[in-house]
Structure 1
Amino acid sequence: MSSSVRCYQINSSEYQHLFSSQLIYLFSLFNEYNYSIRFVGGAVRDILLGVSPHDIDLATTATTNDILKLIQGDSNIELVYTRAEHFGTLTLIVGTTIRKTFQVTTLKRSINRHGKDVFVEFTDNWSIDAQQRDLSINSLSMDEHGIVYDYINGIDDLKMNRIRFNGNIIRRLQENPIRILRYFRFFGRLSSDPYAHESDVLEAIQKCAMTLKDVSGEKIWIELKLILRGRFAGHIMKTILEQKLAPLLGLPESSVEMFELENRWLRCMNYQPEPMTLLMTLFNDQEEFDTFCKRVKCSSRHKNLGQFLLDYRYLIQPMNNNDLLYSYKEFIINSHQTQQNIRHQYIIELLKYQGYIYLIDEIKQWSIPKFPIDTGDLQQNGLMSNRSFSHFLRHLKEQWKLSQHKMTKEELIEYGFQSGLFYM
């Protein structure tokens, strides 16, 4: 692999907005002690794509010990201990009143993995570091003057929407198995053709598939969410499943559902379905869903949505010709008031799942009618009874629903007295 470098000058208007006072301070500190420091990875890639980076990752020729000496006694920088120090990455919070967080990583020569044990060798050579990164488009670096350093022809690949591994693909995947999913994520983001995977890449992924068993569920879920929210999500998930990766991701093996997942995404992609909404296509029962949640350790928010879809995907359907959303609205209204807003969101995802796309805008614009009475209202009207107040509220709510949710609090209380309900 060539060790030559191609340099490109970026217009200052494209990157100067990234230089907060905190970042300027950090660069000045490293430069003062003659350590080279640059933007790397996604930040450089995004700048070249005309996108403002969400995160700024930095790399440096300084070792972690060098960095610790630099910041020792510096009241302007706080070190946050994570589990990444072993990999040469330090998390620094810079600033006093306004504080910003940066990850600074020492350049790497190699990464060797033995099971769950990872051994990292460091370097001060930018070319070597670039060559050991996973993809050519992630091997770019940029200094504070806007000069981009390209050791692997990553800019050409970026222009051609090509996702290319650096060097030996199997070695890159063995160094860090999560790169299998990262490949699919970047492919979905940048490729112009959802099926343009190179055969040697897919063959290498199949050979390295078992290494995913050592990857934490949290990391797998982060990548899956990004894939499922990205371009070509349905096509890419189908490709992932075709590589026999499902059991390693906690997903059921399937030959039919993978096609349905792709079709479901095609139907609702313009409405940005939640990752779990798409994935529920693959689960036939509770056991399969529980296996997945245990593997990826997804948040309660995602798990609750998935459980809702599993429970109600066949139970709630359009049934009323006058209002196709009647059963969906009734489900929301009959929920406890504290649950109504979240269930409104769940219903929107359910319609995406079921393919009733033409009903989504209507349910989004629908305002949940609020039942106007609570226990306090009954007490204020002097109502005393051996019966529980829930008995009265249940009957009043039925009357309210019969009025198409139009009866006011005063009308409902009057109804309660005139009908004899409050004397029962």
Structure 2
Amino acid sequence: MTSSVRCYQLDQSEYIHLFSSQLIYLFSLFNEYDYSIRIIGGAVRDILLGATPHDIDLATTATTDDILRLIQGDSNIELVYTRAEHFGTLTLIVGTTVRNTFQVTTLKRSITRHGRDVHVEFTDNWSIDAHQRDLTINSLSMDKDGIIYDYTNGIDDLKLNRIRFNGNILQRLQENPIRVLRYFRFFGVLSSDAYVHEPDILEAIRTSATALKDVPGEKIWSELELILRGRFAGHVMRTILEQQFAPLLGLPDSSVEMYELENRWLRCMNYQPEPMTLLITLFDNQDEFDIFCKRIKCSTRQKKLGEFLLDYRYSIQPSNDHDSLDTYKEFLIDSQSTQQDIFYEYIIELLKYQGYIDLIDDIKQWSIPKFPIDIWDLQQNGLISKYHFSHFLRQLKEQWKLSQYMMTKEELIEYGFQSGLFYT
């Protein structure tokens, strides 16, 4: 393994905004005790792409025991225990009034996996660590002076929009099976061609994919969600499904549906469909969706959106009347007031799913009219029996709908007296 490194000096304006007082404090602490520490991976990649990193991860020559000794008794740093300590990663919250969270990982020499058992060997060599990371573009590191260290020609790959594994592809995938999906995620971010994959990469992915069965569902969903929000979401998902490991992801085997998912994305991609809006294409029924939800720990919101789309994707359709959105609007108006806001978001996703893109802007310009009368109004106008409240409200609401939601409270009360609904 070569130990050569190419260094690239950033202009201070390109990186200085990343160095909060909390990050500076952490760097100073490690440097004070002669431990090397750098920003690693995604944050460095994003800087070179001109994007603002969402998270800043750090790597260090210090072991976890070293780090624990460093922060012991430091009131400025809080340790958060996760399940990653065994893998050399500590989560630190730095600061008192303003607090930032950082993951700090000891450099790794190797990762050996046997089923769910993982053994990690650590090192203090930056080159060795860089070469055992999954992709060359994720192997870049940067010090506090804005010097980027490139041991794997990752900068060249970034410039060429090329996704390349470090060393032996099968070995990288066997070390951590989630890298199967990480490859597709980064392909969607960087590739200049949505369909061009290196044949040896796809072959290695097919060979390694069975190990995905041991990957926790929340990690699977985390990658799927990013893929489905990505630049080539429809094309990339089709390629994933073509590799025939959908059951490992909790998804039904599909053939026609994977092309429909791609087409659905093409129709609505400019409106940023939710991941579940695309994915629900693959499910024929609730049973299939339940299997997926048991395998994948998606958010409650995404699960409820999926259930909504399954329930209403065929039953709510554009009206033939003067307003194509009448059926959608009526559904929202008939919903409980506490649910109207979330159902409004779901209806927009339903329109994306159905391909009625021209109606999305129309419904976004429409506000849900509020039914102007409630039980209190009925009580104030002579209705005594509580048992009849819902009955009278339903009748008044139907009249309100017939008026195109124009009748006021006073007009509805007057209608109630004239029609004999109310009595004194």
Q: What TM-score do you get using the length of structure 2 for normalisation?
A: 0.98
Partner-residue secondary structure (3-state), 1:338 = coil
Contact 1:320–1:327 (Cα < 8 Å) also in 2? no
Q: Which residue of 2 aligns with 1:234?
A: 234
Give the letter aligned to residue 401 of structure 1: K
Contact 1:77–1:93 (Cα < 8 Å) also in 2? yes
Give the letter aligned to residue 234 of structure 1: G
Aligned-partner Cα distance in 2 for 1:82–1:376: 52
Q: Which residue of 2 aligns with 1:138?
A: 138
Q: Which residue of 1 aligns with 2:73?
A: 73
Map 1:208-357 → 2, pairs under 5 A? 208-357=208-357
Aligned-partner Cα distance in 2 for 1:262–1:216: 26
Q: What TM-score do you get using the length of structure 1 for normalisation?
A: 0.98
Map 1:15-54 → 2, pairs under 5 A? 15-54=15-54
Aligned-partner Cα distance in 2 for 1:95–1:348: 41
Unpaired segments ≥5 residues, structure 2:
none
Distance change in 2, residues 1:387/1:62 (3 Å): closer
User: Deviations 1:93-120 (Å, cap 9, x if unpaired)?
Assistant: 1111111111110000000001101100
Q: Which residue of 1 aligns with 2:91?
A: 91
Partner-residue secondary structure (3-state), 1:13 = helix
Give the letter aligned to residue 252 of structure 1: P
User: Deviations 1:297-349 (Å, cap 9, x if unpaired)?
Assistant: 22221111111111111111112231111111111111111111111111111
Contact 1:35–1:61 (Cα < 8 Å) also in 2? yes
Give the letter aligned to residue 316 of structure 1: I
Contact 1:2–1:152 (Cα < 8 Å) also in 2? no
Partner-residue secondary structure (3-state), 2:194 = coil
Aligned-partner Cα distance in 2 for 1:337–1:310: 22
Q: Which residue of 2 aligns with 1:418?
A: 418
Partner-residue secondary structure (3-state), 2:422 = helix
Structure 1 residue 388: Cα displacement: 2.1
User: Deviations 1:338-384 (Å, cap 9, x if unpaired)?
Assistant: 11111111111111111111111001111001101111121233421
Q: Which residue of 2 aligns with 1:205?
A: 205
Aligned-partner Cα distance in 2 for 1:36–1:348: 50
Structure 1 residue 168: Cα displacement: 0.4
Map 1:94-105 → 2, pairs under 5 A? 94-105=94-105
Greater displacement, 200-209 / 414-423: 414-423
Does 1:365 pair with 2:365?
A: yes
Does 1:393 pair with 2:393?
A: yes
Map 1:400-411 → 2, pairs under 5 A? 400-411=400-411
Q: Which residue of 1 aligns with 2:195?
A: 195
Structure 1 residue 386: Cα displacement: 6.1
What is the aligned-residue RMSD (CA, Å)? Answer: 1.1
Runs of 4+ in 1 over 6 A off after TM superposition: none
Q: Which residue of 1 aligns with 2:2?
A: 2
Partner-residue secondary structure (3-state), 2:91 = strand
User: Deviations 1:182-203 (Å, cap 9, x if unpaired)?
Assistant: 0000000010100111000000
Partner-residue secondary structure (3-state), 2:110 = strand
Contact 2:382–2:422 (Cα < 8 Å) also in 1? no
Partner-residue secondary structure (3-state), 2:34 = coil
Unpaired segments ≥5 residues, structure 1:
none
User: Deviations 1:221-280 (Å, cap 9, x if unpaired)?
Assistant: 010000000011000000000001100000010111011100010000000001000011
Contact 1:92–1:102 (Cα < 8 Å) also in 2? yes
Aligned-partner Cα distance in 2 for 1:188–1:298: 21
Greater displacement, 201-210 / 280-289: 280-289
Partner-residue secondary structure (3-state), 1:102 = strand
Aligned-partner Cα distance in 2 for 1:226–1:329: 31
Structure 1 residue 2: Cα displacement: 2.6
Give the letter aligned to residue 218 of structure 2: E
Distance change in 2, residues 1:386/1:153 (3 Å): closer
Greater displacement, 220-229 / 385-394: 385-394
User: Deviations 1:139-194 (Å, cap 9, x if unpaired)?
Assistant: 00000000000000000000000000000000000000000000000000010100
Give the letter aligned to residue 239 of structure 1: T
Aligned-partner Cα distance in 2 for 1:95–1:318: 54
Aligned-residue sequence identity (percent) comes to 80
Structure 1 residue 27: Cα displacement: 0.5
Give the letter aligned to residue 404 of structure 1: Q
Give the letter aligned to residue 129 of structure 2: D
Partner-residue secondary structure (3-state), 2:223 = helix
Q: Which residue of 1 aligns with 2:179?
A: 179
User: Deviations 1:17-55 (Å, cap 9, x if unpaired)?
Assistant: 111111111100100000000000000001111111110
Aligned-partner Cα distance in 1 for 2:240–2:231: 15
How many residues are treated as equivalent by the alignment? 424
Aligned-partner Cα distance in 1 for 2:337–2:240: 41
Greater displacement, 22-31 / 336-345: 336-345
Partner-residue secondary structure (3-state), 2:113 = strand
Distance change in 2, residues 1:386/1:258 (3 Å): closer
Greater displacement, 125-134 / 381-390: 381-390
Aligned-partner Cα distance in 1 for 2:40–2:387: 69
